[in-house]
Chain A
Amino acid sequence: MGFTDADWVAIGLTLRLAFTVTVLLLVIGTPIAWWLARTNSWLRGPVAAVVALPLVLPPTVLGFYFLLAMGPQGWLGQLTQMMGLGGLAFTFWGLVIASMVYSLPFVVQPLQNAMMSLGDRPLEVAATLGAGPCDRFFSVVLPMSRPGFVTAAVLGFAHTVGEFGLVLMIGGNIPGETRLVSVQIYDHVEALEYTQAHWLSAAMVVFSFSVLLVLYRYQGKSSPFKVGHGV
């Protein structure tokens, strides 16, 4: 294998970050998606726009604001220091928070689409069978939105693995803390270590392709209950 020890550290860190971000985003994104899918509030438009912002903003813009917020004078930095957690800038958990915002639309939107496509009927059926609102959410909405959860998890994970600009802005380049694969590749190229850069880059291509292939095959087959005449 052509990976150096530093490469392996970067790979491990990247996977750890992507996994953490994906899990947290599924937890936070689910209620947001459900609210967006159901509400008639005037806030729906503004909230949907904010959620989608990372799709269009350059990562440097997000990174710049996070850098300010997480710095010693920033509100987020002040908050974490007050709580005795120290600063967030140039730390793993700073990266986690920024990545969650950056990948939010990739998780919320598939969930929201899946939930909207359910329509009212399954919920009405559940209500007539004695299920209260909370019960309906867990017994009907979550299981029936399963394809949306798979898509959301895969996209959220893959998108976090692929970030670069944001990491450079707020994470810097600390081995084992913030030096992700994308940054490691950048360093190899800077140092003219093209062989190393090749190995890591090729690994990223293979990884991304595999993930998307699995995802689209899953969507193509869909789940057994999306076809035919279900609810």
Chain B
Amino acid sequence: MSDNSSVLGRPSISARFAFAHDTGESTDFSLDVNLQLPASGVTAVYGHSGSGKTTLLRCIAGLQRNIHPQTKTGYTAHLAINNTIWQDEKTFLPTHKRALGYVFQESGLFAHLTIANNIDYGIRRAAKKPTDADYNHILALMGIQSLMKQFPAQLSGGERQRVAIARSLLIRPRLLLMDEPLSSLDITRKEDILPYLESLKSELNVPIIYVTHSMDEVARLADHLVVMEKGRVAAQGPLREVLSRLDLPVLSAEAGVVVEATVLERDDRWHLLRAEIEGGTLWLNDNAEAIGQVVRLRILAKDISLSKSANEATSILNRIPVRVTAVTPDLDDAMSLVQLAAGDTLMLARLTRRSVDQLALASGDTLWAQIKSVAIVR
């Protein structure tokens, strides 16, 4: 097990936690996870409420230590960050000694301190102080330079959350944990703060574990996805791989894939862009992306229909040849989920079972996917 903390020699995060609260009450909860996460990029932990995702994050932070009520010993726990053990049978590094940043659902700013003092609170206790350049860079990245003299109660929810993120970054953590940082904000504020998170991801080299129950946030931010269900890991892996799986009912409501596309050309007349994915090209709304830019697209299963012929006479712009790779029944009795491959790109389509039957769909069939809408998520 000790070698697991580095997969293929790359630095990584390994987390193994198992415990059960057998109180005999309806609040019984158990967690049993074994994760190997990359030590870079954003790992989203997705699940419905009660699936254990926040508990997992608290275990990683050391905010929760699970002690067996009878034996008074710890449950199975092993946590290593790039080969540094934070927790195992013998070790329990307390939270304040773990080099991590934690962003809570509500900002958790100290109400009695100004924004500047809130930020200094972490820096003063950090082993590695940020340089002045880092300091100014992160304040600028989060857009909070002008707020430093105010108190938390004077800020909007989005501003407070940005301060909390800056505060946790400036202690130079080896791991940033974010627990639904947008869930306490309304939609406008979310849209305000998402670009900050995206720039955080692209400009700083700190691995982020991002807990959320929003597929939109997963599609926009994640590189790696862990799907939690009832305290267990239902799936973990690269985002594209996990989203294209058919065996994850928890994702079914918002089934769809995320693909990367390169912008090839601009059609000024119709205000469209043509972008290339592996296995075809797609027309997208022109949002002033540059030619050659790589964009991330989200294609929902409900927006794909299938046709046996090229079918030129249709209002649907995007038609690409695909091969059926799998068909499964959906949660809804009337529906099926179909996995399609366009070149190496996997997609999902949600069709009625009746249509599947009429088209006599089976693995290996080749036909045309008509994609009603493609959203650029980034």
Contact = CB atoms under 8 A, between A and B. Distances in A.
A139 B154 CA distance: 22
A140 B110 contact: yes
B168 interface: yes
A130 interface: yes
A166 B112 CA distance: 40
A122 interface: yes
B162 interface: no
Interface stretch (B98-106, B317-325, B357-365): B98-106
A84 interface: no
A130 B121 CA distance: 9
B271 to A, nearest CB: 42
Interface residues of A, number: 26
A230 B125 contact: no
A28 B358 CA distance: 82
Contacts of A126: 96, 110, 121
A124 B63 contact: yes
A206 B110 CA distance: 38
Nearest to B121: A129
B153 A228 contact: yes
B126 interface: yes
Nearest to A145: B112
Nearest to A136: B96
A227 interface: yes
Contacts of A122: 108, 110
Which of under 10, 10 to 19, 20 to 34, or 35 or more describes the interface residues of B? 20 to 34
A30 to B, nearest CB: 17
A124 B166 CA distance: 17
B63 A225 contact: no
Contacts, number: 88
A230 B153 CA distance: 6
A204 B53 CA distance: 60
B89 to A, nearest CB: 23
Contacts of B112: 143-144, 146, 223, 225, 230
A71 to B, nearest CB: 47
A227 B153 contact: yes
Contact of B168 (A128, A144, A226, A229): A128
Contact of A127 (B94, B109, B152): B94
A229 B152 contact: yes
Interface in B145-192: 151-154, 157, 160, 167-168, 171
A144 B151 contact: no
A229 B153 contact: yes
Contacts of A121: 104, 106, 108
Contacts of B111: 144, 225-226, 228, 230-231
B11 interface: no
B130 interface: no
- Return the 7 tightest CB-CB contacts between A and B, nearest first: A230-B111, A228-B153, A130-B125, A225-B111, A128-B102, A129-B122, A127-B95
Given A125-B110, A146-B112, 20 more contacts: A122-B108, A126-B96, A127-B96, A128-B101, A128-B102, A129-B96, A129-B168, A130-B126, A130-B171, A135-B125, A139-B121, A140-B110, A223-B112, A224-B151, A225-B112, A226-B111, A228-B153, A229-B152, A230-B153, A231-B109
Interface of B: 61-63, 94-96, 100-102, 104, 106, 108-112, 121-122, 125-127, 151-154, 157, 160, 167-168, 171
20 contacts: A124-B102, A125-B102, A125-B108, A128-B63, A128-B95, A129-B121, A130-B96, A132-B94, A135-B125, A144-B110, A144-B111, A144-B112, A224-B151, A225-B152, A225-B153, A228-B152, A228-B154, A229-B152, A231-B110, A231-B111
